[in-house]
Structure 1
Amino acid sequence: MYTYSTINFYELTPAQLCDVISQKFHVPMEMAASQIMSYFELERQDDPTAPAAADLQQLLFHKMQGELLQVIRKEATILFPMIRNTQPHNDGGGYIQQSAFDNMQQSFQKISLLLQKIRQVANNFLLRGHWSNYYKICVNDMCMMEQLIQQYIYVEQNILYPAVLKSGNTCVLQPGNKENIDHNASID
């Protein structure tokens, strides 16, 4: 019998959250994105069963991957070291400026919008029997990656960044809540 435990992100310190986010989200998202892109770059060329929309999926996914990797690098090299090495102010304030959070918000919105467009183009990730196993795995991986990214964005926007902001006034985007997505946001 296996015992499963759930991480209660609210019980972790900001420094611990950075470590958990790096391991639970950053590493798996990078690996999944790499696997998905390897299908598009290697297998897709020889896969006559993939729909024509796969080309658009590849373009959108590549754009989303670029945005996501940029966020991960920014956190790994700038924000997380700052959070780990800074003590909160005595007045209860946090570690980072509102402008840093706002910048991350914009990136999260772009990623969320791209995920929404990928889901649209992929017909809500519904699999077709005539597709190759490789393409089915790719579509399934995109669906699982979308869920992982939504969890990641939720943890960051609702737990980590509110805990480390110098200003307590934030407006957070709930992943999956289409009403909170700025549909005029550019994905360029």
Structure 2
Amino acid sequence: MYASAIINFHELSPATLCDVITNKFHLPIEHTAAQIMAYFNLEKQEDSSAPATADLQQLLFVKLQTEISQLIRKEATILFPVIRNITTHNTGKKSIQPAAYDSVLQSFQKILLLLQKIRQVSANYLLQRHWSSAYKICISDLYSLEQLTQQWIYVEQNILYPAAMPGHAPAMQEDEFNNQLSID
């Protein structure tokens, strides 16, 4: 039996959090999204057992993947280098601008809304016996992507950005995290 380590994100410096987020969330999210897209692009056309909602799932997923990719790119190339610089050099000269943080929050809201819509059209990811193995794996991957993405957003909103931007309260409290957005 293997021991598993639990990361206490609150104990990590903002610079270290950037590295952990990249490895624990960004990379697995991108990998899982690529697997889902491979199903939609390569296997769905041949899959007669996929429900009619698979087309809508694909449309929503493409929007989700685009939004996630843009945010990950922005964090990797702009925001995380600034956070690392702030904590490494401890200079007050360069910091994350509130407008940049607001842009991240808007992206988070779009991502969470798209995840909610995908969950809705996917009937809460309940697998059906008559679906192909490939489609079942796709649905399972969609669920995994949702879980990883929600954890990523929670860690950033409640730990990373408040630590990197003193004076900014977390955008979302833990008890309201899963119930924040509505698709109405």
Asked if TM exceeds 0.5, the reply is: yes
Between 54-63 and 162-171, the greater mean CA deviation after superposition: 162-171
Name the counterpart of 1:78: 78
Q: Which moved more, 1:81-90 or 1:19-28?
A: 81-90
Deviations 1:120-175 (A, max 9, x none): 00000010000000000000100011000000000000000001115424533657
Cα gap change, 1:110/1:173 in structure 2, threshold over 3 Å: closer, same or farther?
farther
Matches within 5 A, 1:4-153: 4-87=4-87, 88=90, 95-153=95-153
Identify the range of structure 1 (95-104 vs 107-116) with the bigger mean alpha-carbon deviation.
95-104
Distance in 2 of aligned mates of 1:21 and 1:171: 18
Q: How many residues are matched?
A: 181
TM-score normalised to structure 1 length: 0.89
Structure 1 runs, 4 residues or longer, greater than 6 Å off: none
Unmatched 5+ stretches in structure 1: none
**Which structure shows the bigger proportion of residues in helix conformation?**
2
Q: Which runs of 5+ in 2 are unaligned?
A: none
In the alignment, residue 178 of structure 2 is paired with which amino acid?
N
Task: Give the Å deviation of 1:95.
Answer: 3.3
**Worse-matched range after superposition: 166-175 or 103-112:** 166-175
**Deviations 1:33-58, CA, capped at 9 Å, x for gaps:** 00000000000010000000000000
SS in 1 for 2:18: helix
Q: Distance in 2 between matches of 1:12 and 1:68?
A: 24
Give the whole-Å Cα distance in 1 for the aligned partners of 2:9 and 2:94. Answer: 17
- Whole-angstrom distance in 2 between the partners of 1:15 and 1:33: 26
Task: Indicate the RMSD between aligned Cα atoms, in angstroms.
Answer: 2.0
Counterpart position of 1:177: 178
Alpha-carbon distance in structure 1 between the residues aligned to 2:104 and 2:168: 16
Normalization by structure 2: what TM-score? 0.91
Cα distance, 1:101 vs structure 2: 1.3
In structure 1, distance between residues paired with 2:149 and 2:62: 15
Deviation of 1:183 after TM superposition, in Å, equals: 5.1
Residues 99 and 182 (structure 1), Cα distance of their counterparts in 2 relative to 1, 3 Å cut: farther
CA distance in 2, matches of 1:183, 1:3: 40
**Identity among equivalent pairs (%):** 57
* Cα distance in 1 for residues equivalent to 2:97 and 2:72: 18
Aligned 8 A contact 1:101 1:165 in 2: no
Alpha-carbon contact 2:154-2:177 (below 8 Å) kept: no
